[in-house]
Structure 1
């Protein structure tokens, strides 16, 4: 029988303050009455989109990028840097891009990106609700096909063939099949994307170059899933999604090295329904 933690992992794949009042004792002093101070009128609050959580400094970047940035800011040896081929070249300054002014404009900006490609492949870093960090490759071929290929020591792979999603666990020798329509990430493989029709949009915000869009999907397995998308406006690329499943478990996936030009091998999306692991 599959253990409860394993079921939570599979579901995730498809998917401070306290106040303390301190009062000092009052010293015996003569009572002095001061005239009330005039209250300054508060300035009118500027209309702005609510800010999302602070963006991680290394969102969507390879693991060695942080070390590269540290060396650049500390004034390392220029000659050594020029001959070091283990780190990527310095990224040029990015041009400022006008942020969407309304929620509707934000949705359309993200829709336009998601509809701009039919194939996608690249790397991902996944942080699960139990604190585990997993890495691997993602492949998408629209409509309906997707594959998450995890690096060891992970033993799970997720494959969508257009109608179903298979979650395989090599260690437990299991293969569970779900309907594609029950998974919270089905929007990634739609032939034509319209986020406003995928679920209920609950929020849109801009922080720097990052557009954050939040929605709820009530058609996922087990109940309502909450999905947050983080889109890099300057680079025009999806950087991260966060899924909170109906049980409240959160899974965050960051993307990098994305390629929308090469078509993935069709063998990546084949489910052997008779396969026994």
Structure 2
């Protein structure tokens, strides 16, 4: 799927883990009173923004709860687990029993109720920018940085890899904690994940981010 990203899935198999709120879409690119905006992708990010990104990059493991808002206003939630670099897991609440797991190489979207399993390269999704060893704001990935007293917003993209998809991360400028992120897909549709009750520096079981590639192949072969 050319330029397909995780943002193009919602909780109906093909649209599960897009990540965005309406206010974080096209309006987020406009200058808003009280913000300092870095619009040029070639410009250097403000030092304060890089400090926030470095702090978040230094968080090697974290877990907590999340609420996800889809492009049509649909809302889901559950628990998440993150281990840098490249690993994340979302356990969705509800009867569908959705799971999304990245093992650092691939991302699998699993619907146990419908017995479907979709596999994608992590390197082809904007989620990779969130999970990198270090979030580097010095290159042309930076689309914009907006700063105000209670929020710092950093938008990243890599057109050569993700097409027109983008990821927008929002941080508390005082504690440097990540509050939420939004992924905008190639069609301009946003889905946001807001996180809370977060714990850092936790230990996970060895299989927390494991993907059963054999089971994925078997499920997909039955659907052909």
Q: Shorter-chain TM-score: which interval?
A: 0.7 to 0.9
Correspondence for 2:99? 157
Q: Shift of the alpha carbon at 1:220?
A: 4.9
Q: Shift of the alpha carbon at 1:262?
A: 1.2
Q: Which residue among 200, 203, 206 is the counterpart of 2:144? A: 203
Q: Provide the alpha-carbon RMSD of the alignment.
A: 2.7
Cα deviation, 1:65-86, whole Å, max 9, x if unaligned, reads xxxxxxxxxxxxxxxxxxxxxx
Correspondence for 1:26? none
Cα deviation, 1:183-231, whole Å, max 9, x if unaligned, reads 111123222331444x52122122222111122232555x221221110
Q: Which residue among 171, 176, 181 is the counterpart of 2:118? A: 176
Correspondence for 2:24? none
What is the TM-score of this pair, normalised by structure 1?
0.61
1:249 is aligned to 2:196: no
Is the CA contact (8 Å cut-off) linking 2:179 and 2:194 kept in structure 1? yes
Q: Distance in 1 between matches of 2:157 and 2:14?
A: 20
Q: Which residue among 170, 179, 182 is the counterpart of 1:230? A: 170
Q: Shift of the alpha carbon at 1:48?
A: 6.4
Q: Which residue among 15, 20, 30 is the counterpart of 1:9? A: 15
Q: Shift of the alpha carbon at 1:47?
A: 10
Q: Which residue among 49, 62, 69 is the counterpart of 1:107? A: 49
> Over alpha carbons, which structure has the higher Rg?
1
Cα deviation, 1:208-264, whole Å, max 9, x if unaligned, reads 22111122232555x221221110012320101111111222101111111112122
Cα deviation, 1:20-51, whole Å, max 9, x if unaligned, reads xxxxxxxxxxxxxxxxxxxxxxxxxx996149
Structure 2, unpaired ranges of 5+: 1-8, 20-32, 39-43, 220-224
Q: Shift of the alpha carbon at 1:104?
A: 2.6
The 1:176/1:253 distance shift into structure 2, 3 A limit, reads same
Q: Which has the higher contact order (CA 8 A, sep 6+)?
A: 2
Cα deviation, 1:151-195, whole Å, max 9, x if unaligned, reads 114432111112111111123211111111011111232223314
**Matched residue SS, 2:214:** coil
Q: Distance in 1 between matches of 2:202 and 2:15?
A: 30
The 1:119/1:172 distance shift into structure 2, 3 A limit, reads same
The 1:154/1:249 distance shift into structure 2, 3 A limit, reads farther
Is the CA contact (8 Å cut-off) linking 1:120 and 1:261 kept in structure 2? yes
What is the TM-score of this pair, normalised by structure 2?
0.74
